[in-house]
Amino acid sequence: MGSTRSKWRANQLAFYDGTTQETVKPIAPIVFYDDFLGTTTNTDCWTVIDVGAGSTGQAVSVLTITQNVAGATDENGVYAKNDKAFNLSKGPIFECGMAVSVAPTLGTEIIFGLMKDSLTPGAGRILVADELLVYAMFGFYTTVGAGLIPVIRTKDAGATSAITSTAVTAFSLNAYHVFRIDCTTPADIKFYVDGVGVATGTTFNVSNAANVMVQPILTAQKVGANAGLGIALFDYVKVWQATR
């Protein structure tokens, strides 16, 4: 059991689990939190993506996103109804607990984080193809660590980061990790895995436009006729923002 600890991020207090580094209580004016309790995804907040033979299901406090073997476009997961409630210029922080249960193969990519785009089925990739316009996300795809080393990519209308490896040790299947994207400084947003800064040698800049509004997304997807696999497990999502 992790002991409760606290930290000031910028000028704001947050309580976190000293072992897992999960932020258990951010003291912020806007906080969104879904622990995926119950067996029905909260569609007041989420739109469930259900394209192709894959699936998105919720049970035992886990959102499971499955890509099937069928050789066609397959896209599953959840996004926040295209309701972009978080402002990149006001310090949103995205955090989730996530595990890879089946590593992505072939054209499958697992991505999660924040995006300005509205979702267009079949055109939501950022790794195998760069189909979104403004986003900051973690991802997994087969090119890096056989799908078990998380990568980062960000993009705004002014700068696109390369696909940047977090360079962490390849994850074990089904092992949960805490992922955090801290947009306190949009010109230099920070990424963390289990509380440790990753890809710290890269400056991820999403400050090209002021007051860009974003929504969270958690998805696994592939496009076209390939037999890519992949299963992602999401335990919780928190998004909070330093000011309204």
Partner 1 sequence: MGATKSKWRGDQLAFFDGATYETVEPFAPTLFYDDFLGTAINGDFWTTLDLNSATFTVPAASYWKSSIGAVAENSAAGLYGKNDKSWNIDKGLIFECRMAVHTAPTLLCEIGFGVMNDSYGAGSQSFLNADEVAKYAFFGFYATAGAGLTAVIRTDDAGVDSGIISTATSVVLNAWHVYRMDFTESSSVKFYIDGARVAASTTFKANTTANLMVQPWLCIYKASDVGAVTVGEMYVDYVRMWQATR
Q: Which residues bind partner 1 (CB under 8 A)?
A: 1-4, 15, 17-20, 22, 24-25, 35, 37-42, 59-61, 97, 176, 235-236
Q: How near is the Cβ of 87 to partner 1 at its closest, in Å? A: 26
What is the closest distance, in whole angstroms, from the C-beta atom of residue 38 to partner 1 in the complex? 4
CA 228 to chain centre: 20
Closest CA to 198 of 139, 114, 158, 146: 139
> Among 184, 44, 203, which Cα is nearest to 34's?
44
Closer CB to partner 1, 19 or 118, in the complex: 19
Pick 42 or 203: Cβ nearer partner 1: 42
Nearest to partner 1 of 5, 129 (CB atom)? 5
> How would DSSP label each residue in 145-193?
GGGTS-EEEEE-SS-B---EE--PPPPPTT--EEEEEE-SSGGGBEEEE
Cβ pair 194, 166 in contact under 8 A: no
In the complex, the smallest distance separating the C-beta of residue 133 from partner 1, rounded to whole angstroms, is 33
> Is the Cβ of residue 135 or residue 179 nearer to partner 1 in the bound state?
179
Give the strand pairing for 62-67 and 55-59.
Answer: antiparallel
| Nearest partner of 88 among 225, 196, 183, judged by Cα | 183
Of residues 65 and 127, the one with the C-beta less far from partner 1: 65
Token pair in block for residue 240: 């909070």
Q: How far is the CB of 57 from partner 1 (least distance, A)?
A: 11
Q: Which helix (H) or strand (E) holds 99?
A: strand 92-102
Q: What are phi and psi of 52, to 5 degrees?
A: 85, -160
Smallest separation, CB 199 to partner 1 (Å): 25
Tell me how far, at minimum, the Cβ of 55 lies from partner 1, in Å: 17
Residue (98 or 106) nearer to partner 1, CB: 98
**22 exposure class (CB count in 10 Å sphere: 0-12, 13-18, 19+):** buried
Q: Please, are residues 65 and 36 in contact by the beta-carbon 8 Å criterion? A: no
- The distance of closest approach from Cβ of residue 172 to partner 1 in the complex, given in angstroms and rounded to an integer, is 16
**C-beta of 38 vs 158, nearer to partner 1:** 38
